[in-house]
Structure 1
Amino acid sequence: MSNIEDVRKFYARLMAANAACPDPRLEEVFASVPREAFLGPGPWTIVAGNGKIMTPSADPAHIYQNVLVALDADKGINNGEPFLHAMWIGKLAPKSGETVTHIGAGTGYYSALLARLVLPGGTVTAFELDGKLAELARRNLGAYGNATVIRGDAVTTPLPPSDIVYVNAGVAAPPGQWLQALKPGGRMIFPWRPAERVPLAVLVTRTEKGFACDPFMRSWFIPCVGASVADLATKIPTRDQAARSRSIWLTNERAPDRTATAILGDVWFSSRGLDARPGG
């Protein structure tokens, strides 16, 4: 068996380096939270390209790499790509005392990382729709006193007021109530998939002027039940239009104008930044 402490430390260093995050706590939490505790007993099924392979043994060293570990292969649910999550969490920059809502928590691994990063004083509310995964997350997070698991639909259930909303399921657009749940200065990351051809990760920041929007990388997640189909859309963006989005608005507070890049249900996206003049 490998020296698991050394393996975890090197894994954590890789995660922090890939994220280019100045907060040393990111490396610390990746080193201290045992990934294998959230994956069930090994050997584990690794998602590789369009196929799957098994780890040769139950040695945890096999999963301290940038690999996707299957949680429910039949449903296409995996534990997530560590490099991506390290980058996203670093971009959100969680702080002590902040409140986090995690949507699509799976078995709780990234919820645990977030829970450590908002100590002391911060909390994590982890939503998971799948009953089996929610129960596993509840057990796995039992040692994390500041994390609560809710088996439920985050699309129809009001979110608590949040400094961070961390979304791990693809949406055609974020429901308006997710935006409204953000506190002043709050941040949300979500996988935006208004169409098959438009898979983007978007960072939203709530400012005094509104919701700033930054589509910053390609991304793909399994669909979010109840929010993944653009059936109330009046404008589906092209990939270029989506990438040019710089702000998000609630349609009941401000009507879409000629800068609209996407109009989806109760929200619309604009190519105009919050600091731009109305005619710009």
Structure 2
Amino acid sequence: MFSGIMTRIEDIRKFYARLMAANASSPDPRLETVFAEVPREAFLGPGPWTIIAGNGKVTTPSADPAHIYQNVLVALDDDKGINNGEPFLHAMWIGKLAPKPGEAVCHIGAGTGYYTAALARLVSPSGTVTAFELDEKLADLARQNLEAYGNVTVVHGDAVTTPLPASDIIYVNAGVAAPPAGWLKALRPRGRMIFPWRPAERVPLAVMVTRTENGFACDPFMRSWFIPCVGASIADPAATIPTREQAASSRSIWLVQDKAPDRTATAIFGDVWFSSKSLDARPRTGPRK
């Protein structure tokens, strides 16, 4: 009986992984393998589980893991609004980042570690993942859940105020008004960062940043909403807040210390600003106005 149940769950997990990979449209076949082999239920605590459905909540009828191998949000801390995020979205974001063996990843807002585990598998055997989680309870659970992953270090701490390690990938799972300058500086050449950009309530975007020889290229590629990142989710009153159109037109990010904001600025947040100018755009000729 037990063997039959395990075979059934493995089959369900494989189909779930196939859906994840198809939604991600990633050319990397390892993405499907990882989602098939990392057991989601091991990171959610004992069932039954609370599923977030629109503005409501539904409790699974039992602790059968089959219930959570769908594109559903599963509550981790209902009181704080923290959940194990939507699998389709994470599969697509991870596929877009294209982790490679040997790369160094920084995961900000790791929760209980499910997507951290996927990242760890994708950068194995020589790559590493540093997982930041501000909530002490969740950080402890992540540390336990990821104990078998020798290339993961879980940090119970504030990724906004704590210097990040040099990273090929920074994966942010908490909404920010703007990425702290330290996050941009931590990106290695050709490094990639995805973060949920929430400069205003009306502007929820996911942004991909790539560090190039010429600076930080910026690609707002979809709408998204994540729980706010403590310490980085509220813009300073002096900030220049973008409209949805301005935010969507952003094509590069600059550190003020490297370049002062100019007429291409779409948003300005202290020492970081966004520009509508692509890094590969040719410089204008003639005098500036």
TM-score tier by shorter-chain length is over 0.9
If the length of structure 1 is used for normalisation, what is the TM-score? 0.99
Partner of residue 73, structure 1: 78
Whether the aligned pair in 2 keeps the contact of 1:102 and 1:126 (CA below 8 Å) is: yes
Whether the aligned pair in 2 keeps the contact of 1:202 and 1:214 (CA below 8 Å) is: yes
1:42-97 residue CA offsets vs partner (Å, 9 max, x unmatched): 00000000010100010000000000000000100000000000000000000000
Of residues 23, 31, 45 in structure 2, which corresponds to 1:26?
Answer: 31
SS in 1 for 2:199: coil
Residues 36-115 of structure 1: pairs in structure 2 closer than 5 A: 36-115=41-120
Quickly say closer, same or farther: Cα 1:252–1:232, change in 2 above 3 A: farther
Partner of residue 273, structure 1: 278
Is 1:247 equivalent to 2:252 in the alignment?
yes
Residues 147-226 of structure 1: pairs in structure 2 closer than 5 A: 147-226=152-231
Distance between the aligned counterparts of 1:129 and 1:154, measured in 2? Answer: 8
Partner of residue 228, structure 1: 233
Is 1:262 equivalent to 2:285 in the alignment?
no
SS in 2 for 1:69: strand
Distance between the aligned counterparts of 2:143 and 2:13, measured in 1? Answer: 24
SS in 2 for 1:269: strand
Partner of residue 13, structure 1: 18
SS in 2 for 1:84: helix
5+ residue gaps, structure 1, are none
Distance between the aligned counterparts of 2:192 and 2:237, measured in 1? Answer: 25
5+ residue gaps, structure 2, are none
Identical positions, percent:
82
Distance between the aligned counterparts of 2:48 and 2:262, measured in 1? Answer: 54
- Partner AA of 1:47 in structure 2: I
Distance between the aligned counterparts of 2:150 and 2:210, measured in 1? Answer: 28
Quickly say closer, same or farther: Cα 1:16–1:76, change in 2 above 3 A: same
Count residues in correspondence. Answer: 280
Distance between the aligned counterparts of 1:67 and 1:186, measured in 2? Answer: 30
1:95-151 residue CA offsets vs partner (Å, 9 max, x unmatched): 000000000000000000000000120000000000000000000000000001000
Q: Please report how far the alpha carbon of residue 253 of structure 1 lies from its aligned counterpart in structure 2 after TM superposition.
A: 1.3
If the length of structure 2 is used for normalisation, what is the TM-score? 0.96
Q: Please report how far the alpha carbon of residue 279 of structure 1 lies from its aligned counterpart in structure 2 after TM superposition.
A: 2.5
SS in 2 for 1:235: coil
Distance between the aligned counterparts of 1:35 and 1:234, measured in 2? Answer: 40
